A and B are shown apart, each in its own frame.
Chain A
Amino acid sequence: MGDNGAGKSTLVRVIAGADPADKGVIEWKGEPVRVHRPQDARALGIATVYQDLALCENLDVVGNLYLGREVHRAGVLDEVEMERRASELLGSLAIRIPDLRAPVATLSSGQRQSVAVSRALLGAPEAVVLDEPTAALGIEQATHILDLIEQMRERGLAVLIVSHNLGDIKAVADQVAVLRLGRNNGFFDVNTTPQEQIIASITGATDNTGRKPVRPWP
């Protein structure tokens, strides 16, 4: 969590390999790893849903889901297989999009968010990073996305959600890390920490950015 401009999306892009960090170390399962390109993160099993979704407006749903990892058959794009797997995946996530061949530009914002989330899940990742997944949505669509996040957790995926909304975080998260002015401003256990303390950390009423983290990431 963190206030506007705290550096949440920047951190997400660093993790995803979209904007590599100038310095610092990324550790994955205890090992230092190099993440310089989006492919690197993907190869590690980290999938990302960006705040702006990063969908290609002109491509259809299937094209977006498989962008950068198309399925081939004798060297030629295998549209039938991609569409079959795509509709299977969307079905298993209870996402309803009437026409998988419609350009993404014609979809509603809730549908686009669903497409972006399913794209993240397509490569069977181990960890999913979601940047403000509910910020642009109405209540009903936001609930659906939170349901999807619950589903990921039940499947045993690690989920990292960036959010402003303490309500969403209380609903789905176990741990909160607060970012303030580009630095870590504390880790909290969602179930035991009073709400006010988290908010104080977000707004800077308690400033820990200069000191060591209150508690190491578990």
Chain B
Amino acid sequence: MAVNDREPPPGGATRYLRECLRLLRWGAGTLVTAWRVGRTGSLPVVLGLVVIWIVFESIDTDFLSARNLSNLSVDLVGMGLITVGVIFVLLVGDIDLSVGSVSGLAGAIFAQLNVNAGVPEWLACLIAVLGGAAAGAVHGFFVARLGVPAFVVTLAGLLAWNGLMLFILDTHGSINLDDQGLVATLTNHYFGNALIPLGLAALGLAAYLAVALLGRRRRTVAGLPGPTLGAVAVRAGLLGAVLFGAAGVFIGFRGLPLSVLILLVTLAVLDFVLRRTTYGRKIFALGGGIEAARRAGIAVEAVRMSVFTVSGAMAAVGGLFLASRITSVGQTSGQGDLVIDVIAAAVIGGVSLFGGRGTTWAALLGVLVIQSIASGMALLGVQVAVQFMITGSVLLAAVVLDSLSRRAQRSHGRA
């Protein structure tokens, strides 16, 4: 080999190698410690996403094109909205398997009311979402009041709400929506002006910086340790790179999709609810120990019922976006692997199936992973069969990681 023709500088290469190894070991050590105390955050899923993107891009250079990424982003909105709702349920340590059927039901309610009964679109949307919330409240009643395991209640819901959807669709089979209407607009509207994504990215970054710096100052005034300015700068830099990168992608293909904007705003608002309000704190408390929460005076039943209601409502909203994407509602709406994908997305994004750990942003990250796999496979022309197997394996890996991390954290605490 050409490299061996020349004598390497004595010790130079080995020293360089040794330095690299030490750096690697240090990095791995920090990661393992962070993992032990359950504080890796979104790092594993982000790394996974980068790997998936690099692999698909190296096989097919169309993968990271603005067109593909933009379409992928619009495709994932419906599923992302459903996933956030499920995250509320997962956080209290329950599960909701009915969201696919509820999303289909909402689509059917909307289509029947608007297309066949002539109800105005906004009213039909409202009724569909309220219907989803009601379905969720029913699950919540059985789980929280009667103490039936959520797994069974929502499994029954999966079948029953699908039945109701088929009943509502009746003999129509499938109903086409008005492709100029409000619901169609949800996913086919793009803000073509390049200044809009750029301005919003700048706004997001400025908001992050303002919150981080003000919080840091309050902590300093209170005499508490805060993040260093360097840490804030690094995070702001990463966030800025992601925001402006995304803006660049959208500008490269039709502009900022309205649906993506709605998803991001929803995630941010619900993130605020979970982390900064008493209600959110109660949800996390339930996930950390129902009995402990009860003894702290939390109305456990009400909180548990509420998360199922949120899940049902978000499933309905997501169902409208899914219907919007194909401007029709049919007998297969919300069926198939949707519910598995949604729960997989939440877990892949870092939400613990044991309850009490996760953020709303897991919905975005997890759905990105699932949709990236689906989109990459479609580009490569791989059969759905293989795609199912791969998604299943990714889900299994995420759950194993979740279980191991929980075990590591426990033994760390006992030591």
A interface list, Cβ under 8 A from B: 16, 18, 37-39, 42, 48, 50, 52, 54-59, 63, 67-68, 70, 72, 75-77, 80-81, 83-84, 87, 102-109
Contacts and interface: CB of A to CB of B under 8 A. Distances in A.
Given A38-B297, A54-B289, A80-B222, 18 more contacts: A16-B295, A42-B297, A55-B289, A56-B356, A58-B287, A58-B357, A59-B288, A63-B285, A68-B296, A68-B298, A70-B278, A72-B278, A83-B219, A83-B222, A83-B224, A84-B223, A104-B413, A105-B38
Nearest to A73: B218
Given A76-B277, A80-B215, A106 B284 contact: no
Contacts of A84: 222-224
Interface string B380-415: 000000000000000000000000000001101111
A56 B413 contact: no
B295 to A, nearest CB: 5
B53 to A, nearest CB: 31
Contact of B414 (A37, A63, A75, A109): A109
27 contacts: A38-B295, A38-B297, A42-B297, A50-B295, A54-B295, A54-B296, A55-B289, A56-B284, A56-B289, A58-B287, A58-B355, A59-B284, A59-B356, A67-B285, A67-B296, A68-B296, A75-B277, A77-B276, A77-B278, A80-B218, A81-B222, A84-B224, A102-B37, A104-B288, A105-B413, A106-B409, A108-B413
Interface residues of B, number: 35
B281 interface: yes
Contact of A56 (B38, B293, B414): B293
A176 B276 CA distance: 45
B288 A56 contact: yes
Closest 6 CB pairs of A and B: A56-B288, A58-B356, A68-B296, A58-B288, A54-B292, A38-B297
B296 A38 contact: yes
B297 A103 contact: no
A37 B37 contact: no
Interface string B207-222: 0000000010011001
Contacts of A48: 295
A37 B412 CA distance: 34
B18 interface: no
B228 to A, nearest CB: 15
A72 B277 CA distance: 9
A70 B276 CA distance: 11
B291 interface: yes
A194 to B, nearest CB: 38
Which has the most chain A C-beta neighbours within 10 Å: B223, B289, B357? B289
Which of A38, A58, A83, A84 has the most chain B CB atoms inside 10 A of its CB?
A58
A59 B409 contact: no
A87 B296 CA distance: 20
Nearest to A41: B297
A106 B413 contact: yes
Contact of A105 (B219, B281, B410): B410
B292 A55 contact: yes
Given A57-B356, A58-B356, A103 B293 contact: no
B145 interface: no
Contacts of A87: 224
Contacts of B219: 80, 83
A83 to B, nearest CB: 6
A106 B406 CA distance: 10
A102 B412 CA distance: 12
B294 interface: yes
Given A16-B295, A18-B295, A77-B281, A107 B276 contact: no
Contacts of A104: 288, 413
Given A58-B357, A83-B224, A84-B223, A103 B409 contact: yes
Contacts of A77: 275-278, 281
Contacts of A59: 281, 284-285, 288, 356
A68 B289 CA distance: 14
Nearest to A59: B288
Contacts of B288: 55-59, 104
A107 B276 CA distance: 24
Contacts of B289: 54-57
B406 to A, nearest CB: 9
Contact of B293 (A50, A67, A72, A107): A67
A159 B289 CA distance: 27
Contacts of B281: 59, 63, 67, 70, 77
A188 B157 CA distance: 60
A16 B291 CA distance: 14
Interface in B248-304: 275-278, 281, 284-285, 287-289, 291-298
B392 to A, nearest CB: 28
Nearest to A40: B297
A54 B357 CA distance: 18
A110 to B, nearest CB: 11
A2 to B, nearest CB: 22
A75 B277 CA distance: 8
B215 A18 contact: no
Contacts of A70: 278, 281
Given A76-B276, A80-B219, A106 B295 contact: no
Most A C-beta atoms less than 10 A away, residue of B281, B285, B288 = B288
Contacts of A76: 276-277
Of B292, B357, B412, B415, which is in contact with the most chain A CB atoms at under 10 Å from its CB?
B292
